[in-house]
């Protein structure tokens, strides 16, 4: 392969959040700590993406840039979603955003009022909870439930009851789900959609991880199942898929004309955040049109890393629960059998193990006793971390 993901690239001193902010997030870490926390990859970008940036730099004027009238840009987004997910998008429904979380903030502020209730499913990506609270909305939690086989699903009775009793206005839906890596089934999506339709709940579906699924598993955009309904807004992005989160690009799919009008007013007139940086148009086209070789290799490499972890856990860590997730490059380790304060265990992973992973409490109380690990790094880093984890855990008593 022309891409070498085994090679360890030194990302320090590049203003990398994952590396250069590690000390802030994990004060006990040092320059040798392996960071397996922030959800970006340690893999170099595709040749096509790098080439697109170099090509743009041939013109030395880096002026204001737009994508709203770039037909080729929108076609690249539409073609990718159709080819990979059977999701038919109208170009006029695509709106640029600097990220999924900023888009959620815009939609919360334009489509709900202060004091309105917004529902989430914990454990879930931390900003889901934070932005609801920081924008003075009422956070409602309908937690995921885990069966005896370790599979998560939604308690639909609880979900509907809480929507009804709290007069919920919006649902922040994580699909595929971060941190547990669940890909929702068609039946589950239909149930969710019908409940939200029944109570006129706006659905914002964060599908940023939709392209990173295991072999044989199919992601279904919830909006694709409700083509005649416009309460569904979809957040998509090439950022996780092609490891370009630092370029600040996502595409928000909005069908409802009232929602569109409010989006445009808020992003263009109030916040003035409707335009991308100069590299976005070219790199999005390069990603979606000319990076399939990189994309397919990334999927294979990530899956092999997960297989390594699964084999290691099964053979060496009998008290750790782990299954290869259906999607994302984020693993979810169950360490609830250990008799230890999990904040202390997190510190031990750093000080004694030499690696940093995220304590599940960050994703809600339901995440206590779990840890999220980013496997999108070199196999060598994964091997070091897992062997170090074994050494740390061997001295921890079991409940």
Is the same domain home to 91 and 218? yes
pTM: 0.97
The predicted-structure confidence for 180-195, as pLDDT tens digits, reads as follows: 999 999 999 999 999 9
State the average pLDDT for the chain. Answer: 97
Per the rule left: phi > 0, alpha: psi between -120 and 50, beta: everything else, 25 is alpha
Domain that holds residue 323: 17-45+292-393
Number of neighbours of residue 201 by Cβ within 10 angstroms: 20
- Buried b / exposed e over 20-49, threshold 16 CB at 10 Å, is eebeeebeebeeebbbbbbbbbbbebbebb
Residue 217 has pLDDT above 80, yes or no: yes
In a domain? residue 277: yes
Give me the number of domains the chain comprises: 2
From CA 127, how far away is CA 18, in angstroms rounded?
17
The sign of the torsion formed by the CA atoms of 388, 391, 394, 396 equals: negative
Is the same domain home to 250 and 110? yes
Is the same domain home to 285 and 193? yes
In a domain? residue 179: yes
Share of the chain above pLDDT 90, in %: 98
pLDDT at 150: 83
pLDDT band at 97 (very low <50, low <70, confident <90, very high): very high
The predicted-structure confidence for 108-129, as pLDDT tens digits, reads as follows: 999 999 999 999 999 999 999 9
Strand-pair partners of 141: 120
User: What is the CATH number for 332?
Assistant: 3.90.1150.10
Give the residue from 124, 182, 179, 120 showing the smallest Cα distance to 151.
Answer: 182
Is the same domain home to 163 and 229? yes
From CA 158, how far away is CA 141, in angstroms rounded?
10
pLDDT at 1: 65
């Amino acid at each position: 392969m022309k891409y070498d993901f085994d090679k360890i690239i030194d990302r320090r001193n590049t203003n990398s959040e994952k590396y250069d902010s590690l000390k802030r997030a994990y004060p006990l870490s040092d320059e040798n700590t392996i960071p397996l926390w922030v959800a970006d990859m340690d893999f170099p970008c595709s040749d096509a993406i790098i080439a697109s940036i170099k090509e743009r730099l041939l013109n030395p004027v880096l002026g204001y840039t737009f994508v709203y009238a770039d037909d080729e840009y929108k076609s690249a987004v539409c073609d990718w979603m159709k080819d990979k997910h059977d999701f038919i998008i109208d170009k006029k429904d695509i709106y640029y955003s600097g990220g999924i979380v900023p888009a959620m903030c815009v939609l919360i502020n334009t489509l709900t009022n202060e004091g309105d209730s917004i529902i989430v499913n914990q454990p879930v990506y931390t900003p889901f909870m934070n932005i609801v609270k920081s924008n003075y909305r009422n956070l409602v939690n309908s937690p995921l439930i885990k069966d005896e086989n370790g599979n998560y699903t939604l308690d639909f009775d609880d979900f509907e009851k809480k929507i009804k009793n709290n007069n919920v206005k919006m649902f922040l839906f994580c699909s595929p789900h971060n941190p547990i890596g669940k890909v929702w089934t068609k039946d589950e999506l239909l149930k969710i959609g019908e409940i939200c339709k029944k109570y006129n709940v706006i659905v914002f579906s964060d599908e940023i991880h939709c392209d990173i699924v295991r072999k044989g598993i199919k992601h279904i955009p919830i909006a694709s199942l409700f083509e005649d309904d416009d309460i569904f807004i979809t957040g998509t992005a090439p950022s996780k898929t092609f490891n370009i989160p630092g370029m600040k690009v996502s595409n928000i799919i909005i069908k409802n004309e009232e929602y569109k009008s409010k989006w445009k007013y808020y992003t263009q007139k109030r916040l003035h955040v409707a335009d991308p940086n100069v590299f976005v148009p070219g790199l999005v086209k390069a990603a979606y049109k000319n990076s399939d070789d990189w994309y397919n290799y990334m999927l294979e490499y990530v899956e092999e890393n997960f297989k390594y972890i699964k084999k290691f856990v099964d053979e060496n860590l009998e008290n750790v629960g782990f299954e290869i997730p259906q999607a994302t490059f984020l693993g979810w380790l169950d360490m609830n059998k250990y008799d230890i304060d999990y904040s202390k265990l997190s510190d031990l992973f750093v000080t004694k193990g030499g690696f940093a992973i995220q304590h599940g409490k960050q994703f809600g109380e339901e995440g206590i006793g779990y840890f999220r690990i980013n496997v999108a790094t070199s196999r060598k880093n994964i091997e070091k971390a897992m062997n170090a984890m074994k050494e740390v855990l061997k001295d921890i008593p079991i409940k």
